[in-house]
């Protein structure tokens, strides 16, 4: 990874199987959940036609990365077997690689064997791990072996219990320390292309989430790109007393603040609107 940054401005390039993504200007990662029970789009993409149509839509709207998840990580989500996760992914990845060979594909999994399968059988470009290796001790060695960019997210506990009264003395300080330890472990294994995700909504109260957003700039001390995944989450729609389907405007407000505070990647269901936020904030920052 090439990095040269100040506290206020990052400059990063990640190597995705030879495809270079410059994160000096923020990019959008489009979400594709192939699960029946995700909190917003669960069960929406049930067949190959629906999957490919949604990917084409997100690409046309400006997504540079497509993130595919076959395991729902919403609070209280039902656990599925590794075999079921693998089966769901194989069906979709086969179609995607055939139709969209040039797009950068990320696989959202915390299981090392799934990461290996996705890379060796389908050549996926990024692994997105909600547990930063906490749920599978083999994940870090596998990332070192396959040598592709790794997104590590902070989560307190697991999807089944993460929202059971999460507590921190200082949520920002504790997450910075958590990531610094993980980064050192990965560097010792030779892993260079690392992206951090504070894990909004994963083991945090509404107050914790807003504190993290307000102080997102503090994570720049880690000298790594920052991914923000807040699209239509409950800490937005519960505050506004609306539903996830009505939370597009709130999500865009969050994206805008996150960009102003240093986010490099917006992971979202709504690519077009996220791209618009990037353009507006870019204009604001450039003054042109």
CATH number at residue 189: 3.20.20.20
Provide the pLDDT for residue 42. 43
Rounded to an integer, what distance in angstroms lies between the CA atom of residue 29 and that of residue 257? 17
* pLDDT averages per 10-residue partition of the chain, 288 residues: 45 90 95 66 62 93 95 71 91 88 93 97 96 96 98 84 79 97 98 96 93 97 97 93 95 97 97 98 86
46 is catalytic: no
Provide the pLDDT for residue 44. 53
* Domain that residue 256 falls in: 2-281
39 within 8 A of 27, measured Cβ to Cβ? no
* Residue 208 vs residues 106, 212, 235, 268: alpha-carbon distances, Å: 27, 6, 10, 20
* Helices and strands, counts by H and E, the chain: 9, 11
Q: Is residue 136 part of a domain?
A: yes
* Residue 181 buriedness (CB in 10 A; 0-12 / 13-18 / 19+): exposed
Q: Which of 233, 238, 272, 288 is catalytic?
A: 233
- Give how many domains the chain has, as a whole number: 1
Residue whose token pair is 């791990």:
129
Rounded to an integer, what distance in angstroms lies between the CA atom of residue 163 and that of residue 44? 25
Q: Is residue 287 part of a domain?
A: no
Rounded to an integer, what distance in angstroms lies between the CA atom of residue 34 and that of residue 83? 15
Q: Is residue 227 part of a domain?
A: yes
Provide the pLDDT for residue 191. 96
Provide the pLDDT for residue 102. 87
Provide the pLDDT for residue 192. 92
Q: Is residue 209 part of a domain?
A: yes
Query: Can you state the percent helix, strand and coil of the chain, rounding each to 5?
Result: 40, 15, 40
Contacts of 245 (CB under 8 A, 6+ apart): 40, 232
Q: Is residue 103 part of a domain?
A: yes
**19-25 contact pairs (CB < 8 A, 24+):** 19/102, 19/104, 19/125, 21/64, 21/65, 21/104, 23/225, 23/264, 23/265, 25/278, 25/282
Nearest CA to 70 out of 56, 81, 58, 59 is that of 81
Q: Which of 267, 279, 285, 288 is catalytic?
A: 267
- Global confidence as pTM: 0.90
74 is catalytic: no
Rounded to an integer, what distance in angstroms lies between the CA atom of residue 279 and that of residue 160? 37
Q: Is residue 288 part of a domain?
A: no
């Amino acid at each position: 990874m090439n990095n040269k940054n100040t506290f206020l401005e990052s400059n990063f390039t990640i190597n995705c199987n030879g495809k270079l993504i410059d994160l000096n200007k923020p990019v959008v990662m489009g979400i594709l959940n192939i699960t029946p029970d995700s909190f917003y789009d669960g069960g929406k993409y049930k067949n190959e036609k629906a999957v490919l149509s949604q990917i084409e839509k997100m690409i046309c709207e400006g997504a540079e990365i497509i993130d595919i998840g076959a395991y729902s990580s919403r609070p209280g989500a039902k656990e599925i077997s590794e075999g079921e996760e693998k089966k769901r992914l194989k069906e979709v990845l086969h179609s995607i690689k055939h139709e969209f060979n040039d797009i950068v594909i990320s696989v959202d999994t915390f299981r090392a064997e799934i990461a290996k399968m996705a890379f060796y059988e389908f050549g996926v470009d990024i692994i997105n791990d909600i547990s930063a290796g906490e749920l599978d001790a083999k994940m870090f060695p596998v990332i070192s072996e396959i040598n592709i960019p790794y997104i590590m997210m902070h989560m307190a506990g697991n999807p089944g219990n993460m929202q059971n009264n999460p507590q921190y003395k200082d949520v920002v300080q504790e997450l910075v320390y958590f990531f610094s330890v993980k980064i050192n472990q990965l560097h010792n294994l030779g892993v260079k292309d690392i992206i951090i995700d504070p894990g909004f909504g994963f083991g945090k109260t509404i107050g914790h989430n807003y504190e993290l957003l307000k102080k997102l700039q503090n994570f720049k001390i880690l000298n790594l790109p920052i991914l923000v995944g807040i699209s239509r989450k409950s800490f937005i729609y519960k505050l506004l007393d609306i539903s996830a389907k009505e939370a597009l405007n709130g999500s865009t407000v969050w994206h805008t603040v996150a960009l102003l505070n240093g986010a490099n990647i917006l992971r979202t269901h709504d690519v077009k609107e996220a791209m618009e936020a990037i353009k507006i904030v870019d204009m604001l920052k450039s003054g042109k």
